[in-house]
Structure 1
Amino acid sequence: MAVFAVITVGALLGMVRFGPVKLGAAGVLFVGLLVGALDKDIAPAVPAGVSALGLALYVYTVGLESGPAFFRELRSQLPVMAGAVVALALTAVVVGYVGHSGFGISGPFLAGGYAGIGTTTPGLAAAQEASADPAQPAVGYAIGYPLAVVITILFISAIAARRRWVARRDPDSGLPPVLVTRTVQVEHETAWGEVPGVADHRVLASEYRPEGGEVQVARGLGRLRPGDLIVLVGGEDDVRAATERLGSTAPVHLLDNRRTVDYRRVLLTNPVLAGHTIAELGLGERYGAAVSRVRRGDVDMLAHDDLVLQLDDRVRVVMPRERITEVSTYLGDTETKVSEVSAVSLGLGLTLGFLIAIPSVTFGSTTLALGTGAGPLVMGMILGWRRRTGPLVWTLPTRANLTLRQIGLLLFLAVVGLTSGYSFRQNAFSLFGLKLVAVLVIGAVVSYTLMVLIAKALGQSRERTMGLLSGYVGNPAITAYANSRVTDSRVNNGYSTLFALAILVKIVCIQLIVGL
């Protein structure tokens, strides 16, 4: 009863806006601390296994989602990743040295504080596993977390205000944040492959009508001649450039004529197709159809042959009108399956994650292990990257993934708050608490400054730097704030690049700090 009451009230607190941000799930932690502070006998009564289960669900689902982006960006973003590792290690040194040598604060409190300024819940779990008193890291985490959110927001605001920002190695805005569809009347004879944006998958055609002919699905286009009509899909700038090359915007829109060719979004729920590319679907050969867009979560992506699909994707298909039922049946299009979870793949993935969490290495008084905070995360990243193994589909439908993640995080934070509240009451509101705040403010400012300087020195754009800092800190609320300041896909790409890596590095540093 106490756990779910804390979740209820904490979730309500998380909805309250404090300036530009909301606490979100962290509201559960603070309500848990408040309730746990009421009586010292509350902590022993809370089942610790609930916390471990919640954490495992959270980090495993995070790994499944972030794994593909991490391995995809590994080569191109390796210098940035290496810089982030260095910055996190130096931050650990600053927090450990200043806190232990300068203020006499013990390792578990500092480790929790380091996790707090990194807003890493798995890091808190690693600190608790490595500490004799699990309540001490929770005190540091609860103090560091709000400091991290406030200070990072200030950093993001400062970066957003910088209009002149040299980006030697990141000049492109990547994928367009908004896709547009436009019917173009061809006025200049042009080979389709020579149209700007076609070769690099920034513009595609969905429907085509040759002069005097019928509307058809745009497949295998050759030379376009004056009088032809073609529907272009892509970002506003790319479509405009392609339009100027071909001719001008047509007075009619081909998509309004749905007599012979139709289009609709079809939900991909056929598990056999998950993990395959659009080309491997064979829609053109089977049904004379083509994919123009893929919507995953809240992101609309331009389709291309090499785009890998996953369960719960909404695929926009252009097809002959009489093949609609066949295409929908082939892709699945069953709403009841979007929240289904394969117990076999989920159970096996978590089992493997717990297995790799067991081995440990001891250096003097410090023991390093992946633990329940990193084992399932690493395994989730690998399996999410692989997507499927034979008949086993490792990825989860987006809605199911987010639901399990949220449940796991809420359970973990509620238990941590309840079991640590009394210790928080004894330590946070004292001279000791002020010392810890001072150490963590210094650590946070040093950490975030290092990350921004490294990104700028490596030629990253202002927008990607905002995303990199968000992923480096690892807080979705910060990412949302960054997206509210600029509209650019590089923000989310930067977040995905560092989010999982930063968690792993923080877990290692935290275990070293505990040994102080």
Structure 2
Amino acid sequence: MGQFFADQPWVAVFSVVALGSLLGLCRFGPVKLGAAGVLFVGLLVGALDKDIGPAVPTGVSALGLALYVYTVGLEAGPAFFRELRGQLAVMAAAIAALVITAGVVGFVGHQWFGISGPYLAGGYAGIGTTTPGLAAAQAASENPAQPAVGYAIGYPLAVVVTILFIAVLAGRRHWKARRDPGSGLPAELVTRTVQVTKDVRWDDVPGVATHRVLASEYRPADGEPRIAHALDVLAAGDLVVLVGGESDVRSATAYLGELAPLDLLDDRSTVDYRRILLTDPDLAGRTVAELGLGPRYGALVSRVRRGDFDMLAHDDLVLQLDDRLRVVMPHGRADAITRHLGDKESSVSEVSAVSLGVGLALGFLIGIPSLTLGTTTLALGAGAGPLVMGMFLGWRRRTGPLVWTLPTRANLTLRQVGLLLFLAVVGLTSGHSFRENAFSVFGLKLVAVLTLGAFVSYFLMVLGAKWLGQSRERTMGLLSGYVGNPAILAYANGRATDSRINAGYSTLFALGILVKIVCIQLIIGL
């Protein structure tokens, strides 16, 4: 079997992708391995015969990695730059924790146990679960199999230890958050029809000024239902449809009056509503206000569903392809608004070859320059170059006619394909070396170093977040993003329902990858 895979490397690659994906679906305690299952199956298959690794087309891994990090950057860029000012102190704490961890892993591993830099760099990438970091370590090593051994040992260790930390955080009910007291954006939106029992100014209603509550439909006490444009004063007897998080809508309802005995949304004879898919490239990267639905059609957007999350629409919310817009409109205007927004299912998986090609080319270009410090050469390389460019272009969203962002489904598909190809090739090319080194005294030494590094790293991150006054929920998200593993994020979301978890993850995910890549190249020089 080993020789067959050596003779048929493409069969080996896609067999590993298939079997590894099946392994990734299996649950081990509270988590699944996900895409990492491909790496472990690749290591197992690669260990069958020493000729398998050299036969595998390694150029595939570079392409897969570039697709993965570029699409991650496109998605993470807007959140990163949006959070930059408010979370600058947290980002600095994360950078300090990663640098200190690199020092601990490098010093203890090299000075106490005599482990060489490539193994330690791969292990450091493993406890950071950073696939681009592994690529950077391999690119800087004479023997690319050595970092892969460290990564394969550190990765499962990171998942287990981080989950322990998350479990402890989830149990800290009296965690004080002096600088993060709010509940963030609502995890789920609700719609309620409220009957006004007193005269009130709309802008005084709790949550309106902060864009946490909006009105989608309104019926005066003596009139017909209408779209809730530019509400001013509400009078007793009026009905208004509120949209927002459960607690925010409850507060607004208490201020306005009481829940109405009827639901305005049940009557669609005057005001209609529907979900419409945004697929017109000319509208991507524009704000809700720039759609012009109010002036042109008398309509408004109340919600925007992106992926699996519903967001409350407001004028400054920037839209992207594949967003589903909940549009409240006058009866009979649905067809015209649908044509305006696109609503073509066939477009949600389409990719602009021009913007994708230009973005990746620019990413590879900025990865070329290098800086030599003593015996260490630093460069963004094929791992960080496309990531940085993706973050920048994702933040810019569009340049003239070029729309840089991708439809959500297309982004996720390209990301998964790229990651699976990269991990399959890494596993196959490193399997034989892993078999020779992991299950030995040397392997036990590496486990000890990485365990120490993992505990130091995660403890410093949590301590820094608490010292900076971050909430328990945001700290769980920050730790998930700091480690950079979606399985850990899923576990954190399973232990608490709060949008600050996802916000914290977005804050540190891309930044963590970049800092780890730099630290990895420094460790390689040991």
What TM-score do the two structures reach when normalised by structure 1? 1.00
Q: Give the secondary structure class of the aligned counterpart of 1:204.
A: strand
Question: Matches of 1:212 and 1:334 in 2, distance apart?
Answer: 40
CA offset at residue 218 of structure 1?
0.5
Q: Give the secondary structure class of the aligned counterpart of 1:163.
A: coil
Preserved CA contact (<8 Å) 1:295 1:315: yes
Q: Does 1:427 align with 2:434?
A: no
Q: Which amino acid aligns with 1:319?
A: M
- From 502, 505, 515, the counterpart of 1:492: 502
State how 1:392-403 maps to structure 2 within 5 Å. 392-403=402-413
Post-superposition Cα deviations, 1:230-269, rounded to whole Å, max 9, x if no partner, equal 1011111111111111111110000000001100110000
Of the structure 1 ranges 56-65 and 211-220, higher mean CA displacement relative to structure 2 is found in 211-220
List alignment gaps of at least 5 residues for structure 2: 1-10
Question: Matches of 2:64 and 2:276 in 1, distance apart?
Answer: 33
Q: Give the secondary structure class of the aligned counterpart of 1:167.
A: coil
Preserved CA contact (<8 Å) 1:117 1:148: yes
Aligned to 2:418: 408
- From 252, 265, 270, the counterpart of 1:260: 270
Post-superposition Cα deviations, 1:257-314, rounded to whole Å, max 9, x if no partner, equal 0001100110000000000000111100000000100000011000100000000000
Question: Matches of 2:519 and 2:247 in 1, distance apart?
Answer: 45
Q: Give the secondary structure class of the aligned counterpart of 1:39.
A: coil
- From 389, 393, 410, the counterpart of 2:399: 389
Aligned to 1:84: 94
Question: Matches of 1:260 and 1:132 in 2, distance apart?
Answer: 71
Q: Does 1:457 align with 2:457?
A: no
Aligned to 2:139: 129
- From 455, 459, 480, the counterpart of 1:445: 455
Number of residue pairs aligned between Structure 1 and Structure 2 = 516
State how 1:30-179 maps to structure 2 within 5 Å. 30-179=40-189
Q: Give the secondary structure class of the aligned counterpart of 1:322.
A: coil
Question: Matches of 2:293 and 2:500 in 1, distance apart?
Answer: 31
Question: Matches of 1:314 and 1:500 in 2, distance apart?
Answer: 26
Q: Does 1:342 align with 2:352?
A: yes
Question: Matches of 2:272 and 2:237 in 1, distance apart?
Answer: 22
Q: Does 1:357 align with 2:363?
A: no
Question: Matches of 1:240 and 1:66 in 2, distance apart?
Answer: 32
- From 466, 469, 492, the counterpart of 2:479: 469
Q: Which amino acid aligns with 2:18?
A: T
Question: Matches of 2:57 and 2:282 in 1, distance apart?
Answer: 40
Q: Which amino acid aligns with 1:263?
A: Y
Aligned to 1:209: 219
Aligned to 2:295: 285
CA offset at residue 371 of structure 1?
0.4
CA offset at residue 424 of structure 1?
0.2
CA offset at residue 191 of structure 1?
1.1
Aligned to 1:13: 23
CA offset at residue 219 of structure 1?
0.4
Moved over 2 A (4+): none
Question: Matches of 1:220 and 1:474 in 2, distance apart?
Answer: 43
Post-superposition Cα deviations, 1:313-357, rounded to whole Å, max 9, x if no partner, equal 000000011110000100000000000000000000000000000
Aligned to 1:310: 320
CA offset at residue 393 of structure 1?
0.2
Aligned to 2:228: 218
Preserved CA contact (<8 Å) 1:139 1:428: yes
CA offset at residue 212 of structure 1?
2.1
Question: Matches of 2:469 and 2:205 in 1, distance apart?
Answer: 30
Q: Give the secondary structure class of the aligned counterpart of 2:38.
A: helix
Question: Matches of 2:378 and 2:247 in 1, distance apart?
Answer: 50
**Seq. identity, %:** 78
CA offset at residue 433 of structure 1?
0.2
Question: Matches of 2:499 and 2:479 in 1, distance apart?
Answer: 15
Question: Matches of 1:377 and 1:435 in 2, distance apart?
Answer: 33
Q: Does 1:508 align with 2:525?
A: no
State how 1:262-277 maps to structure 2 within 5 Å. 262-277=272-287
Post-superposition Cα deviations, 1:142-173, rounded to whole Å, max 9, x if no partner, equal 00000000000000000001111010100001
Preserved CA contact (<8 Å) 1:188 1:245: no
Preserved CA contact (<8 Å) 1:9 1:31: yes
Preserved CA contact (<8 Å) 1:60 1:350: yes
Q: Which amino acid aligns with 1:429?
A: F
Q: Does 1:480 align with 2:490?
A: yes
State how 1:180-259 maps to structure 2 within 5 Å. 180-259=190-269
What TM-score do the two structures reach when normalised by structure 2? 0.98
Q: Which amino acid aligns with 1:272?
A: D
Q: Does 1:2 align with 2:12?
A: yes
CA offset at residue 226 of structure 1?
1.1
Aligned to 2:6: none
CA offset at residue 363 of structure 1?
1.1
Q: Which amino acid aligns with 1:481?
A: Y
Question: Matches of 1:503 and 1:454 in 2, distance apart?
Answer: 19
Question: Matches of 2:401 and 2:370 in 1, distance apart?
Answer: 33
Question: Matches of 2:179 and 2:158 in 1, distance apart?
Answer: 29
CA offset at residue 186 of structure 1?
1.0
Question: Matches of 1:246 and 1:445 in 2, distance apart?
Answer: 51
Q: Give the secondary structure class of the aligned counterpart of 2:214.
A: strand
Q: Give the secondary structure class of the aligned counterpart of 2:333.
A: helix
Q: Which amino acid aligns with 1:366?
A: T
Question: Matches of 2:23 and 2:253 in 1, distance apart?
Answer: 50
Question: Matches of 1:167 and 1:221 in 2, distance apart?
Answer: 35
Question: Matches of 1:28 and 1:242 in 2, distance apart?
Answer: 49
The alignment yields a C-alpha RMSD, in angstroms, of 0.5
Of the structure 1 ranges 49-58 and 187-196, higher mean CA displacement relative to structure 2 is found in 187-196
Post-superposition Cα deviations, 1:432-467, rounded to whole Å, max 9, x if no partner, equal 000000000000000000000000000000000000
Question: Matches of 1:504 and 1:220 in 2, distance apart?
Answer: 45
Q: Which amino acid aligns with 1:398?
A: T
- From 281, 292, 304, the counterpart of 1:294: 304
Preserved CA contact (<8 Å) 1:108 1:127: yes
Of the structure 1 ranges 240-249 and 109-118, higher mean CA displacement relative to structure 2 is found in 240-249
Q: Which amino acid aligns with 1:449?
A: F
Question: Matches of 1:298 and 1:469 in 2, distance apart?
Answer: 22
Question: Matches of 1:66 and 1:512 in 2, distance apart?
Answer: 25
